[in-house]
Amino acid sequence: MTYETDGSLLDKARAALPDMLADLRQLVLCESPTSDFEAGRRSADLVAQVGSEHLGTVPERVENGGRVHLRWRLGTGPRRVVILTHHDTVWPIGSLETHPWVCADGIVRGPGCFDMKTGLVQAFYALGGLMADGAPLDGVTLLVTGDEEIGSPTSRELIEAEAADADAVFVLEASGPGGAIKTQRKGTSNYTVTATGLAAHAGLEPENGVNAGLELAAHMLAIAEFGDADAGTTVTPTMLGGGTTSNTVPDSAWVAVDVRAATIAEQDRVDEQMHGLVAQLPGARVSVDGGPNRPPLEAASSGDLFTRACGLADRIGAGPLSRVAVGGASDGNFTAGMGVPTLDGLGAVGGGAHADDEHVVIDPIPGRTALLAALVADVLDGAGAR
């Protein structure tokens, strides 16, 4: 079947904008922090209800480790297109009291509106719009996960299994500055470095102790040097803790380390250095837990799809497009790391993800929705096959 990928897609999306904002309001008002299992279930129930109204079928509900993921598999054929979204946010219950839903002066505000509930609404309307035109959409999966904000520990296997043989993956994470499509993302690695020493009274006999804090401090200074600015690699000690009381030589201290790397080679280099740490003080021990979490989304994974998106955006009146490389990771890193063509940042235009100024610009929403519909149609017509 040949799908229509012309200006009519944008016209239909513009006409649907009031309904899109109404659905977005429902989703934002249903707070869904990843850490709150009951809130996640309530959110999943609402997402399933709203999505079913547009897609004409209920999703498969996948629960793992207390998290709820939703999967719409449209048609019975092999998976050709996978659309990745998530319904969890970083905002705790009660955030609406300080960051209420606002839709005024061309801007939407509210917890999770930018990351990424607007993208989720765009996915529903893009696919629902194609189906309303009689398109069969055989081989399309919409996956809505519930743990993206904490690294997707219970949904990664589901994501990778669904995308394994796909022609293309489209990620509805929020856009970069000015609406830029995210064609490169750094890979992420996470570590915990623990130093173990020997406790002693800090006033009576400190010389009999082995200070785990001093041991850890030496490693933190070394770890900070593992980064490579020229390669775009950052290695950052973040959370830390240790000790028991203020008058005791600490027998344990720890630090979390965040690593961002643009290439797998850099990710592997830092991993080798991290696991090569050895104790510096006599009697101390050091251990390193963790490793790479998400591989990089490199330019080669998105290049062809971005070129196609630019052509489609111009054709439907939603262009021009720009692109950007970012340090943050998403579930698109997983699929790109598998070698599946992946295009990210197709969601909301706005800013302030995870911050007090989180907001979405309303005017681009129809164009982003129409672009997703055009991309799905293009792949199903055969132009996007791997």
150 and 282 assigned to the same domain? no
For residue 114, what pLDDT band results from cuts at 50, 70 and 90?
very high
Pairing type for strands 140-145 and 200-201 reads unpaired
Name every residue whose Cβ is closer than 8 Å to that of residue 146 and which is 6 or more positions away in sequence: 32, 34, 40, 43, 44, 67, 68, 69, 86, 87, 88, 154, 155
Domain harbouring 232, CATH code:
3.30.70.360
61 and 166 assigned to the same domain? yes
Question: pTM value?
Answer: 0.90
The answer to whether position 2 is within a domain reads no
Per-residue model confidence (pLDDT) at position 2: 58
Whose tokens are 């490793």? That residue is 291
Does residue 202 register a pLDDT over 70? yes
Per-residue model confidence (pLDDT) at position 382: 81
Report pLDDT digits (tens) over 69-91. Answer: 999 999 999 999 999 999 999 99
Range of the domain at 335: 7-186+296-380
**Residue 148 DSSP code:** G
Burial class of residue 78, CB neighbours in 10 A (0-12, 13-18, 19+): exposed
**Which stretches within the chain are classed as H helix?**
7-15, 17-29, 37-55, 95-98, 118-132, 156-163, 212-224, 264-274, 299-316, 332-337, 365-380
First-to-last C-alpha distance (Å) of the chain? 19
- Which of 294, 312, 344 is the last residue before a domain boundary? 294
Report pLDDT digits (tens) over 278-308. Answer: 999 999 999 999 999 999 999 999 999 999 9
**Residue 197 DSSP code:** -
Tokens standing for 159? 């994501």
Cis peptide before 116 (omega within 30 of 0): yes
Query: Average model confidence (pLDDT) for the chain?
Result: 96
Mean pLDDT, range 334-348, rounded to an integer: 97
12 and 77 assigned to the same domain? yes
Distances from the Cα of 372 to the Cαs of 2, 47, 174, 210, in angstroms?
A: 16, 19, 13, 59
Are 186 and 180 a contacting pair, CB within 8 Å?
Answer: no
Domains identified in the chain, total number: 2
303 and 364 assigned to the same domain? yes
Catalytic residues: 88, 148
Pairing type for strands 81-86 and 140-145 reads parallel
Question: Which of 132, 108, 106 has the alpha carbon at shortest distance from 29?
Answer: 108
